[in-house]
Amino acid sequence: MAYEESGAPDGFPVFLMHGTPGSRRGPKPRGIVLYRMGIRLIAYDRPGYGDSDRFEGRDVADAARDVETIADELRLDRFAVAGRSGGGPHALACAADERLRGRVSRVAVLVSFAPSEAIGLDWFDGMNRDNQRGFGDGRHDTEIVVEEIRQRAARAAEDPRFLLRELMTQMGPPDRRAINDAALRGIIFDTYQEALRAGPYGWIDDVLALRRDWKFDLDAIDTTRTPVRLWHGEDDTFAPASHGRWLAARIPGAEIEVQPGAAHFDAMQQLPRMLRWLGDGQAPTGADVLIGARPGQ
């Protein structure tokens, strides 16, 4: 399993769960910013992505064992967890895990998906066509979904910027504004390229795990011991805000903020604020921590 650390070596440890597809090299605040915030950020490739070996058939709940293994390796007694997009459910798995109870201090979840069989939620309502197709839009069986991912990964191998261009065709105005920065687009491109370097397997296994039972109960999350905070952009068309609201309603005591006029990729600008909360407000967060921000912004 591949992981990397950035920020303050003696800072408060926070695990960052990347999106789908994604890798440990995904968007995050610059190292000097994390250092000033007092955060020791640990990002890892979920199995099958980047440099991490594949674990075929893994469930969302298995992420808790990944985090436990890395935390034990680093001799971390207590830490927080953040998850963005497809990483959100994996972060919640850590909050619900009995073996991690007492070790996970707080969990932050940004633009997360809800379970695919969530009662009372139209899972695909408000989701763009690309993501509907990528998750099977309720009609396609597993073989078709897997083949769809294989074809898209193969095109990305031939043309490294294919996924980024395809992504941008699915964006609404808020997301276009959010990634209207060459540095941020470069980071997104780099994380996709790293994610698929060894093939489509991490992406396939992520989607299949998100489509089936997550193998943990949201009711098992005790927010009196492990506070949970969710953030969602109201105009998100990749993981609609209804998913975040559903999760907040099913996790007793969870806090949620739904921001009007924001969408999926605004989560990258919200991450520094969430990291500050995860670190229990150890340091102030100024405008210069925003990912991709240029001097003077």
**CA 25 to each of CA 6, 191, 194: distance values in angstroms, whole numbers, following the listed order:** 11, 5, 8
Residue 23: its pLDDT value, please?
Answer: 96
Nearest alpha-carbon partner for 149 in 186, 88, 192, 93: 192
Distance CA 36, CA 41 (A): 12
Give the domain range for residue 99. 3-289
Which CATH number does the domain housing residue 8 bear? 3.40.50.1820
pLDDT for 139 equals 58
Q: Is residue 128 situated within a structural domain?
A: yes
Classify residue 113 by its DSSP letter. Answer: P
Residues whose CB falls within 8 Å of the CB of residue 225, separated by 6 or more in sequence, listed in order: 101, 102
Q: Is residue 297 part of a domain?
A: no
User: pLDDT tens across 155-181, in order?
Assistant: 988 887 888 888 888 898 999 988 888
Q: Taking CA 245 as the corner, what is the angle to CA 240 and CA 250, rounded to the nearest 5 degrees?
A: 130
Of 222, 229, 214, 217, the closest CA to residue 115 belongs to 214
pLDDT digits (tens, 9 = 90+) for 121-136: 999 999 999 899 889 8
Q: Could you tell me which of 143, 121, 122 has the C-alpha nearest to residue 246?
A: 121
d(CA 172, CA 131): 14
In a domain, 85, yes or no: yes
- Contact criterion met (CB below 8 Å) for 14 and 80: yes
In a domain, 62, yes or no: yes
Burial of 165 (0-12, 13-18, 19+ CB in 10 A): exposed
Residue 145, domain member (yes or no) = yes
Q: How many domains does the chain have?
A: 1
Please indicate, yes or no, if residue 16 is contained in any of the structural domains. yes
The reply to whether 294 falls in a domain is no
Q: For position 231, what pLDDT does the model report? A: 98
Please work out, in degrees rounded to the nearest 5, the angle formed at the alpha carbon of residue 4 by the alpha carbons of 297 and 262: 35
162: helix, coil or strand? helix
Tell me how far apart the alpha carbons of residues 92 and 251 are, in angstroms, rounded to a whole number. Answer: 10
Task: Give yes or no for a contact between 112 and 88, defined as CB atoms under 8 angstroms apart.
Answer: yes
- CA separation for the pair 17, 90 (Å, rounded): 7
pLDDT at 138: 59
The C-alpha torsion from 81 through 90 and 148 to 156, rounded to 10°, is: 20
Structural domain includes residue 183 = yes
Q: What is the pLDDT of residues 174-209, one digit of tens each?
A: 999 888 888 888 999 999 999 999 999 999 999 999
User: Residue 213 has what DSSP assignment?
Assistant: -
Torsion sign (Cα): 166, 43, 274, 247 = positive
Backbone φ and ψ of 257, nearest 5°? -125, 120
| pLDDT number for residue 292 | 40
Which residue shows structure tokens 């800072």?
Answer: 11
Question: What are the residue ranges in the chain where pLDDT is below 70?
Answer: 138-140, 281-297
